[in-house]
């Protein structure tokens, strides 16, 4: 699932009564502009690359075919959000709908197909589509899994953010999801970002446990579990999970 957008911070000065006069107008502090992050230009350049250039420069080699635990071989095809064929984008949307619509409907955000389709076209979003080896890229050949990701900044920290990762029922438990995530983590490591991040509904215990096994933990910026009066524990609707790619590289 994608990252939820945070509400903008409210200006505490707006809470002051407007009929209280100031003897002198409040002084506006001028803060120096912080220097750009060293990776800002790298991420901007990487996002501007064509897919062949991105693959050649940052993707781990020999990772576009994968022999899964079911004995079959699968091909991985990469697209930008503005180059992915419409039938593949629709197949990705249908897979999200099949696997996550219930979780969205149970959340305060709800399920909004129009918003989801718009989000799937966001600039700088990249897709990795998985199909059985030997199949053609046509509407007649269903996808087995897909992952979408973006190189970006999360609270001024360079990250590779996994927006969506979904597999069909037949594609589960055979290593496709793990291989997709390792592939994207490899991209993040080559670019030099700090973390790989993702968002998971707390209702989805299977996915949460899988991410933990792959080295992900609840991020410090995530909504946290709260302990209420009487000892009751209240989980948030979702966790933001992350994996330190510098630590994983060691």
- Each residue of 42-96: pLDDT tens digit? 999 999 999 999 999 999 887 789 999 999 999 999 999 999 999 999 999 999 9
Compute how many other C-beta atoms are within 10 angstroms of the C-beta atom of residue 184. Answer: 24
**Integer Cα distance of 117 and 89 in angstroms:** 9
Instruction: Break the chain into its structural domains and give their ranges.
Output: 38-249
What is the pLDDT, as a whole number, of residue 230?
A: 76
What is the pLDDT, as a whole number, of residue 14?
A: 38
- Which CATH number describes the domain made up of 38-249? 3.40.630.30
**Integer Cα distance of 196 and 205 in angstroms:** 20
- Pair of tokens at residue 13: 């000065």
227-245 b/e (C-beta count within 10 Å ≥ 16 → b):
eeeeeeeeeeebbbbbbeb
Q: How many residues does the chain have?
A: 250
What is the pLDDT, as a whole number, of residue 94?
A: 97
**Integer Cα distance of 84 and 128 in angstroms:** 10
What is the pLDDT, as a whole number, of residue 247?
A: 85
Q: Which residues of the chain carry a pLDDT beneath 50?
A: 5-26
What is the pLDDT, as a whole number, of residue 158?
A: 96
């Amino acid at each position: 699932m994608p990252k939820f957008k945070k509400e903008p911070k409210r200006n505490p000065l707006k809470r002051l009564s407007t009929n209280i006069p100031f003897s002198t107008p409040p002084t506006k502090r001028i803060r120096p502009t912080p220097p750009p992050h060293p990776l800002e230009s790298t991420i901007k350049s990487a996002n501007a690359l064509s897919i062949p250039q991105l693959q050649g420069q940052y993707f781990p080699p020999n990772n576009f075919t994968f022999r899964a635990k079911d004995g079959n071989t699968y091909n991985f095809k990469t697209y930008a959000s503005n180059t992915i064929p419409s039938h593949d984008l629709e197949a990705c949307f249908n897979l999200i709908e099949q696997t996550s619509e219930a979780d969205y409907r149970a959340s305060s955000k709800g399920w909004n197909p129009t918003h989801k389709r718009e989000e799937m076209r966001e600039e700088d979003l990249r897709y990795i589509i998985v199909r059985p080896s030997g199949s053609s890229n046509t509407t007649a050949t269903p996808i087995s899994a897909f992952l979408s990701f973006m190189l970006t900044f999360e609270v001024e920290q360079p990250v590779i953010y996994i927006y969506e990762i979904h597999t069909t029922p037949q594609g589960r438990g055979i290593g496709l999801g793990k291989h997709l995530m390792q592939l994207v983590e490899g991209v993040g490591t080559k670019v030099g970002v700090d973390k790989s991040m993702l968002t998971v509904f707390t209702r989805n215990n299977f996915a949460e446990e899988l991410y933990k096994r792959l080295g992900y933990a609840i991020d410090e910026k995530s909504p946290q579990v709260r302990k209420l009066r009487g000892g009751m524990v209240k989980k948030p609707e979702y966790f933001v999970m992350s994996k330190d790619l510098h630590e994983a590289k060691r």
